[in-house]
């Protein structure tokens, strides 16, 4: 690897990005727009999610549950439903985005075992809203759970801690206030960096093929590693700028509390950027048109990253096969790291597992990217 | 490259794309400092051959060495010894003249103390003094091509492969380009240059005629024009041309007939028809005949003659 050649390529690439409106837009405008879209999409609220209630029990206890949901301010009562069939009708007619079903034996189970479940049905047409509503419902049930728990403990004369979980719902594992914004914004940052990073480099090799400059370039003694390094360096700098922008916006604009340390944030972010750039580069090597490469980059990062990174859908609630697939969705590691850093203030040691995942992703992707390119036309 | 070895040795080089044979067993040796013209119509296989010589395409069969290195096994060694201009313009249009030169100088690791003088030389050679900071995309064809040549020789390669460097360039700029090629050759650079302009063959030390992937003739322009026709060339002004061509092709003693612009070129065997007989034969067919005279063959005549002879007698040696 010759530093002179790497520098020549990096410099050339930087000039080209600087002079290409499309690349500049992807580099600087896209993160901003996505931040507004995704960041505000989730936090411009979405209070008072319309809720229908089908209370099969109609007891004191069940009313407490309904009140618990409504008093949270997250839900407002749309209708009380008389029977099972009414659920479908209400959903079909868009009368509500969520239905709370309280089973007929709710109080009995609660009294006997200290455990009971309520059912939540969500209109999944709007994935984003659904996720937030699900988060809200989890929060509401978690509050109720602890209420019932102390009551049960008092009634049975046991210490609350000895009762075990009165799990109306598995207690949520993120911030206590259940502020969906705090939970989702770090995920949004990860998603944006994954999208933008792959977009940036997806153009870099395909541009040379499309403009016919590649044939000249590969007739020179430049090595594939020098080419990759030279091409990634300017985008790495852009990626760091984008990351600083997104993380800064998360902390100062969206006011998500940051409890971790900056060093860990920097190291993991740099590593993640390397992974996403490497991935875009890999696509660029494989697809020889710029349009094709950028569309494929969008397709293969957008869906897996939004669906399987845990950014909105908790991974541990996915079916096992999907969970297995999510292992290769490298954004999930950065999502966990960011959540750990923001919400829990974890250090590198506490983030060992996702950090290892990120390291492995980086190794695999950069190895594949380095091997993918051949200085040949056939 | 030791001084004794030829710059380029091509041995039965073949390239197939699926079933289609683009280059069919070409054999050729190029000495150091020679300018060899690779001449043939579009689709003849010129670019494919040059790409194999640059190590960009893998030969299907046969082999080639460039500067003593096998193109299939040691492509990187080959690339250190060559400069290449691909057929499609391939500098960075969104970069300036100087930025392009600096980029390739960096890629070729031109020594820093040489950088200034090499870049100045390339700029002067391309005639781009004063336009160093102009984006390349705004330059006209001739300048672009000369700049591309400048980029390809920044590292002083002993061997140059130029793929149709003059195509789409106005005649005056073409001539200037060939002057540059000869300057380089005078410095001992070996040059293999492809073109589909037959008239450019005259600029080459030797020419390799190539058609449908095969090398059909190889020699100096003089040799080819002198020996390859096998008869006397006659140029006839006549009309209608199509009818005349059909009549001449069938006439006794006519080796070959072809349309050249608005005239008919006919190759007549020794001892066949004379000029008068020829005119008569045409007139008998109801064809208006104007001037008819013996002419010196051009390379184009030779090319057409060889191609037709090959088609008439498949398997005949080149
Ligand atoms: N990558 C390829 N795949 C299939 N056919 C090709 C490829 N490259 C060239 N050819 C075919 O090979 C023939 C020779 O092409 P080429 O070497 O470009 O000719 P020339 O440079 O003499 O015009 C043409 O018929 C062309 O269509
Ligand atoms: Mg060609």
pLDDT digits (tens, 9 = 90+) for A219-267: 999 999 999 999 999 999 999 999 999 999 999 988 888 988 999 999 9
Q: What is the pLDDT of residue B310?
A: 65
Residue B13's CB: how many other CB atoms inside 10 A?
Answer: 25
Nearest CA in chain A to B162: A216
Nearest to A20 among B80, B89, B94 (CB): B94
Answer whether B104 sits within 8 Å of A220, measured CB to CB.
yes
Q: Is the dihedral of CA A90, A95, A101, A104 positive or negative?
A: negative
Residue B17 beta carbon below 6 angstroms from any ligand 1 atom: yes
Under the banding of pLDDT at 50, 70 and 90, the label for residue B56 is very high
- Residues A327-338: tens digit of each pLDDT: 889 999 999 899
What pLDDT is attached to residue A159?
A: 63
Residue-level pLDDT at A171: 28
Structure tokens at A208: 């040379």
| Residue A174 pLDDT greater than 50, yes or no | no
Q: What is the residue-averaged pLDDT of chain A?
A: 84
Asked if A221 reaches chain B (Cβ–Cβ under 8 Å), the answer is yes
User: How far is ligand 1, taken at its centre, from the CA of residue B22, in Å?
Assistant: 6
Torsion of CA A26, A32, A34, A36, to 10 degrees: -160
Residue A293 or residue B229, greater confidence: A293
Q: Identify from B20, B106, B150 which residue to disrupt to test chain A contact, counting A C-beta atoms within 10 A and taking the largest count.
A: B106
Residues 54-73 of B with CB under 8 A from A: 54-58
Look at residue B311 in the predicted model and tell me its pLDDT: 64
CATH tag, B8-219: 3.40.50.300
Which residues of chain B have a CB within 8 Å of the CB of A22?
none
Q: Is A289 on the interface with B (CB under 8 A)?
A: no
Average per-residue pLDDT in chain B?
89
Quick check: A364 contacting B, CB < 8 Å? no
Does the CB of A212 have a partner CB in chain B at under 8 Å?
yes
Residues in chain A with CB shorter than 8 Å from the CB of B102 are 8
- Position A129 scores a pLDDT of 63
Residue A16 with chain B: CB contacts under 8 Å:
92, 94-95
Q: What is the pLDDT of residue A335?
A: 92
Distance from the alpha carbon of residue B177 to the mean position of ligand 1, in angstroms: 25
Tokens of A75: 């839900």
pLDDT the model gives residue B3: 57
CA distance A45 to A185: 14
Decide: A335 and A355 in contact? Cβ < 8 Å: no
CB B45 near ligand 1, within 6 Å: yes
Q: Find chain A residues with C-beta within 8 A of B16's C-beta.
A: none
Quote the pLDDT of residue A169.
45
Task: Give A-chain residues touching B94 at CB under 8 angstroms.
Answer: 15-16, 19-20
Among all bound ligands, the one having the nearest atom to the CA of B85 is 2
The neighbouring-strand residues paired with B208 are: B38, B218
Q: Would you say residue A93 has pLDDT above 80?
A: no
Interface test mutation site (partner A, options B86, B115, B151, B153, max chain A beta carbons within 10 A): B86
Residue A167 above 50 pLDDT? Answer: no
| Strand order, beta sheet including B263-268 | B254-260, B263-268, B232-239, B288-294
3-state secondary structure of A261: coil
**Average pLDDT over every residue of B263-279:** 81
Contact yes or no for B107 and A9 at CB 8 A: yes
How much is the pLDDT for B231?
78
pLDDT score recorded for residue A161: 45
**CA distance linking residue B262 with residue A328, whole number of Å:** 69
Read off φ and ψ for residue B215, nearest 5 degrees.
-80, 115
- Check residue B250 and give its pLDDT: 81
- pLDDT tens-digit series, residues A314-359: 676 678 888 888 888 999 999 989 988 987 788 888 889 999 999 9
Selecting from A2, A15, A376 the residue whose C-beta is nearest the C-beta of B109 gives A2
Residues A304 and A330: their CA atoms lie apart, in Å, by 10
Question: B residues 88-127 near A, CB within 8 Å?
Answer: 88-95, 99, 102-109
Nearest residue on chain B to A15, alpha-carbon basis: B95
Does A160 score more than 70 pLDDT? no
Go through B60-74 and write b for each residue having 16 or more CB atoms within 10 A of its CB, e for each that does not.
bebbbbbbbbbbbeb
More confident residue, A348 or B38: B38
Q: What is the CA B253 to chain-centroid distance, rounded? A: 32
Q: pLDDT tens across A9-56, in order?
A: 999 999 999 998 888 888 888 888 888 887 776 544 566 788 899 999
Name the burial class of residue A146, with classes exposed (0-12), middle (13-18) and buried (19+) by CB atoms within 10 angstroms of its CB. Answer: middle
Give the range among A278-282, A361-365, B165-169, B177-181 with minimum mean pLDDT: B165-169
What's the CA gap between B63 and B53, in Å, rounded?
9
**Which has the minimum average pLDDT: A101-110, B43-52, B88-97?**
A101-110
Angle at A145 between CA A142 and CA A146, to 5 degrees: 95
Contact assessment for residue B210 and residue B299, using Cβ atoms and an 8 Å cutoff: no
For tokens 């047409």, the residue is A125
Asked whether the beta carbons of A268 and A334 are under 8 A apart, the reply is yes
Enumerate the residues of chain B whose CB falls inside 8 A of the CB of residue A212: 86, 88-90
Counting residues of chain B whose pLDDT is more than 70, the rounded percentage is 94
Ligand at shortest distance from the CA of B44: 1
Class of the B226-312 domain? alpha beta
**What's the mean pLDDT in B64-77?**
96
**Of how many residues is chain B composed?**
318
Res A369: pLDDT: 93
Query: Ligand 1 centre and the CA of B47: distance in Å?
Result: 7
- Number of CB pairs < 8 Å for A and B? 85
Percentage helix, strand, coil for chain A under 3-state DSSP, each rounded to 5: 70, 5, 25
What count of Cα atoms within 13 Å lies in the side-chain half-sphere of residue A21? 0
Taking residues B43-60, report their average pLDDT. 96
Question: Which among A1, A5, A211, A216 is the top mutation candidate for probing chain B, defined by the most B β-carbons within 10 Å of its own β-carbon?
Answer: A216
Dist. CA B194–CA B209, nearest whole Å: 10
C-alpha B45 to ligand 1 mean position (Å): 6
Contact (Cβ atoms closer than 8 angstroms) between residue B243 and residue B282: no
**DSSP state letters, B170-232:** -HHHHHHHHHHHHHHHHTT-EEEEEES-GGGGGGSSEEEEEETTEEEEEE-HHHHHHHSS-SE
CB distance B46 to ligand 1 below 6 Å: yes
Q: Which residue has the higher pLDDT, A136 or B184?
A: B184
Kindly list the distances between the CA atom of residue A323 and the CA atoms of A171, A304, A362, B62, in Å, as whole numbers in the listed order.
Answer: 20, 12, 20, 53
Q: What is the CA radius of gyration of chain B?
A: 23
From the CA of B22, how far away is ligand 2's center (Å)? 11
* Across B164-193, average pLDDT: 91
Q: Which residues pair with B161 in a beta bridge?
A: B84, B192
A279 near A365, Cβ under 8 Å? yes
**Block residue for tokens 């541009």:** A207
Q: Point out the residue among A8, A216, A378 whose CB comes nearest to the CB of B106.
A: A8
Q: Please, which pLDDT band fits residue B234 given cuts at 50, 70 and 90?
A: confident
pLDDT > 70? residue A162? no
Q: Does A22 touch chain B (CB under 8 A)?
A: no
Closest CA to B256 of B314, B316, B302: B302
The encoded tokens of residue A35 equal: 């931040």
- What is the model's pLDDT at position A158? 67
Query: Burial, A125: exposed, middle or buried (Cβ in 10 Å; 0-12, 13-18, 19+)?
Result: exposed
Q: Are A83 and A37 in contact (CB under 8 A)?
A: no
**pLDDT tens-place string over residues B201-226:** 889 999 999 999 999 989 998 888 77
Q: Is B197 on the interface with A (CB under 8 A)?
A: no
Q: Give long-range contacts, CB 8 A cutoff, 24+ apart: A290-299.
A: A290/A202, A290/A203, A290/A206, A290/A207, A290/A210, A292/A206, A293/A202, A293/A203, A293/A205, A293/A206, A294/A199, A294/A202, A294/A203, A296/A202, A297/A198, A297/A199, A297/A202, A298/A195, A298/A198, A298/A199
Residue B271 region by backbone torsions, left for phi larger than 0, else alpha for psi between -120 and 50, else beta? left
For residue A216, report the distance from its CA to the centre of ligand 1, in Å.
Answer: 18
Q: What is the mean pLDDT of residues A113-140?
A: 73
B235-250 pLDDT, tens digit per residue, is 889 888 888 888 888 8
**Domain architecture of chain A: domains with CATH:** 3-43+179-372 (no CATH), 49-163 (3.40.1710.10)
Mean pLDDT on B280-300:
84
What is the residue extent of each domain of chain B?
8-219, 226-312
DSSP A224-248: HHHHHHHHHHHHHHHHHHHHHHHHH
**Residue B57 confidence (pLDDT) above 60:** yes
Nearest CA in chain B to A9: B103
Q: Is A4 on the interface with B (CB under 8 A)?
A: yes
Residue whose CA lies nearest to ligand 1 atom number 27: B43
Which positions in chain A touch B55 (Cβ < 8 Å)? 219, 375-376
CA B51 to ligand 1 center in whole angstroms: 11
The residues facing A14 across adjacent strands are none
Report whether residue B19 contacts ligand 1, using a CB cutoff of 6 Å. no
| Cβ neighbours of A7 in B, within 8 Å | 106
């Amino acid at each position: 690897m010759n530093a002179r050649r790497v520098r020549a390529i990096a410099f050339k690439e930087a000039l080209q990005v600087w002079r290409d409106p499309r690349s500049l837009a992807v580099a600087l405008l896209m993160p901003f727009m996505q931040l507004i879209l995704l960041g505000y999409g989730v936090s411009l609220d979405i209070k008072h999610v319309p809720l229908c209630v089908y209370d099969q029990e109609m007891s004191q206890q069940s009313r407490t549950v309904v009140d618990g949901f409504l008093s949270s301010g997250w839900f407002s009562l749309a209708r009380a439903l008389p029977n099972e069939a009414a659920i479908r009708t209400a959903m079909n007619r868009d009368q509500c985005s969520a239905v709370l079903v309280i089973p007929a034996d709710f109080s009995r189970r609660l009294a006997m075992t200290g455990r009971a479940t309520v059912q939540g049905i969500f209109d999944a047409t709007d994935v984003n809203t659904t996720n937030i509503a699900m988060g809200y419902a989890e929060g509401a049930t978690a509050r109720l759970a602890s209420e019932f728990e102390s009551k049960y403990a008092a009634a049975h004369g046991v210490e609350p801690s000895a009762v075990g979980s009165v799990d109306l719902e598995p207690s949520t594992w993120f911030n206590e206030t259940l502020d969906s914004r705090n939970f989702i914004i770090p995920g949004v940052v990860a998603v944006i960096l994954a999208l933008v990073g792959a977009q940036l480099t997806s153009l870099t090799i395909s541009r040379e093929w499309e403009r016919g400059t590649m044939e000249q370039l590969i007739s020179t003694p430049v090595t594939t590693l020098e080419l990759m390094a030279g091409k990634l360096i300017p985008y790495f700098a852009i990626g760091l700028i984008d990351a600083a922008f997104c993380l800064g916006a998360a902390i100062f604009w969206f006011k998500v509390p940051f409890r971790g340390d900056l060093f860990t944030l920097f190291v993991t972010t740099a590593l993640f950027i390397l992974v996403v750039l490497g991935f875009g580069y890999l696509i660029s090597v494989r697809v020889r048109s710029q349009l094709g490469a950028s569309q494929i980059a969008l397709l293969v990062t957008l869906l897996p990253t939004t669906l399987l990174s845990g950014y909105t859908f908790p991974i541990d609630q996915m079916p096992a096969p999907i969970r297995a697939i999510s292992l290769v969705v490298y954004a999930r590691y950065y999502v966990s790291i960011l959540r750990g850093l923001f919400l829990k203030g974890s250090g590198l040691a506490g983030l060992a597992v996702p950090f290892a995942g990120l390291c492995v992703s980086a190794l695999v992707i950069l190895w594949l990217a380095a091997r993918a390119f051949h200085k040949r036309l056939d | 490259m030791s001084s004794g070895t030829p710059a380029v040795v091509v041995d039965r080089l073949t390239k197939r794309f699926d079933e289609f044979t683009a280059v069919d067993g070409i054999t050729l040796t190029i000495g150091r400092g020679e300018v060899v013209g690779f001449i043939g119509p579009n689709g003849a296989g010129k670019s494919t051959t040059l790409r194999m010589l640059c190590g960009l395409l893998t030969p299907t069969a046969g082999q080639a060495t460039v500067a003593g290195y096998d193109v299939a096994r040691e492509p990187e060694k080959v690339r250190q010894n060559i400069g290449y201009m691909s057929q499609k313009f391939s500098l960075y249009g969104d970069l300036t003249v100087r930025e392009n030169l600096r980029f390739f100088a960096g890629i070729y690791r031109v020594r820093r103390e040489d950088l200034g003088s090499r870049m100045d030389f390339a700029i002067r050679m391309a005639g781009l003094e004063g336009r160093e900071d102009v984006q390349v995309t705004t330059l006209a064809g001739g300048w672009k091509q000369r700049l591309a040549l400048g980029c390809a020789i920044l590292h002083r390669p002993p061997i140059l492969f130029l793929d149709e460097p003059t195509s789409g360039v106005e005649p005056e700029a073409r001539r200037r380009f060939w002057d540059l090629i000869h300057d380089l050759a005078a410095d001992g650079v070996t040059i293999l240059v492809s073109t589909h302009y037959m008239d450019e063959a005259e600029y080459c030390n030797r020419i390799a005629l190539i058609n449908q992937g095969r090398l059909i003739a190889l020699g100096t322009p003089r040799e080819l024009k002198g020996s390859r026709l096998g008869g006397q060339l006659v140029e006839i002004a006549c009309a209608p041309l199509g009818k005349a061509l059909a009549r001449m092709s069938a006439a006794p003693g006519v080796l070959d007939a072809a349309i050249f612009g608005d005239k008919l070129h006919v190759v007549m065997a020794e001892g066949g028809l004379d000029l008068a007989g020829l005119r008569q034969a045409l007139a008998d067919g109801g064809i208006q005949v104007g001037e008819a005279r013996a002419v010196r063959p051009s390379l184009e005549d030779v090319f057409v003659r060889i191609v037709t002879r090959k088609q008439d007698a498949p398997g005949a040696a080149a």
